[in-house]
Amino acid sequence: MKKYALINLLMIFLLLMSEVAIAGSCEKLIITGHTSYAPVAWEEGGAIIGASTKMIELIAQDLGLTVESKSMGSWANAQNAVKTGAADVIFGIYYNDVRAQYMNYIKPSYMLDPVVLMVPKGKAFSFTKWSDLIGKEGVTNKGESYGSEFDAYTADKLDVIRGDGIEKCFEILLQGKAEYMIVGLYPGMAEAKKMKAWNKIKTLPKQLKAFKMYVAFSKKSPCYAKYHRIFSEKIQDMVKNGTVQTLLILSQAEWDNQLSK
């Protein structure tokens, strides 16, 4: 019995040591996010910048941790990078069960993201419930999820095509190939202004939903075990003390300044 007890203790010790070794191997945090979701995140010079990047950088600075922001070319690619372990962290991500299989979500969320329906001006329709979309052609960006329930409803009941980026989705909408576009309010407004198409678009009054946005670590990242608790604590503090809202305001000003050049 003593022999088996010693063996069990040895196995536990080796397991703990391996976890420490894995956690200790995190030398740099590779982060990624949406390429066109201003002011939350957007691509510039091969990196993802914006309010979310600023938030992660502030946390990492306190921890003495190096951060490398990388654009993966698209939102779908960013999620795949986290799935394969090519990136440690993704931000501005909604929760769904599929993603939770390869991501460790950091709670709490750091902001609410209103998702709306945008339509060509003069072609608004009544939208009060999901079934109002049955029989209509919709479009949304590749890689987007709007919660497990609505995703399932879309797959079963709705006709929604996927565009390669928000700009492409707007093109499909304005060309009359779709009757509505599902998009986050912030990036939808930002992209419409960038395309000088804001006067051609109307946002339907009722939101589809307001979704919580999270930071999530890849389940293959060696950084999660070491830093997930402190990330959770610091995100909670930054939400409470208004830092996240300030970063959103600053990033919106940065984006507007780029458009005016």
Residue 9 pLDDT > 60: no
* Of 51, 15, 1, nearest in space to 187 by CA: 51
Distance CA 195, CA 190 (A): 9
Query: CA angle, corner 209, sides to 72 and 129, nearest 5?
Result: 130
* Of 177, 185, 130, nearest in space to 158 by CA: 130
Question: What is the model's pLDDT at position 260?
Answer: 79
- Taking only the tens place, the pLDDT of each residue in 183-210 is 999 999 999 989 999 999 999 999 999 9
Q: Say which amino acid occupies 29.
A: L
- Taking only the tens place, the pLDDT of each residue in 103-127 is 999 999 999 999 999 999 999 999 9
Question: What is the model's pLDDT at position 8?
Answer: 52
| Domains of the chain with bracketed CATH | 2-112+212-260 (3.40.190.10), 113-210 (3.40.190.10)
Residue 2 pLDDT > 70: no
- Taking only the tens place, the pLDDT of each residue in 60-82 is 999 999 999 999 999 999 999 99
Give the chain's mean pLDDT: 91
* Of 120, 114, 115, 152, nearest in space to 137 by CA: 120
Mean pLDDT of 90-95: 96
Question: What is the model's pLDDT at position 19?
Answer: 46
Q: How confident is the model at residue 20 (pLDDT cuts 50, 70, 90)?
A: very low
- The token duo for 225 is 């075990």
Q: Which residue has the higher pLDDT, 219 or 4?
A: 219
Neighbours of 93 (CB within 10 A): 25
* Of 193, 168, 200, nearest in space to 260 by CA: 193
Could you give the percent of the chain with pLDDT greater than 70?
91
Residue 12 pLDDT > 50: no
Identify any residues that bridge with 115 across adjacent strands, giving them in sequence order.
184, 209
* Of 123, 90, 100, nearest in space to 213 by CA: 90
Distance CA 93, CA 75 (A): 10
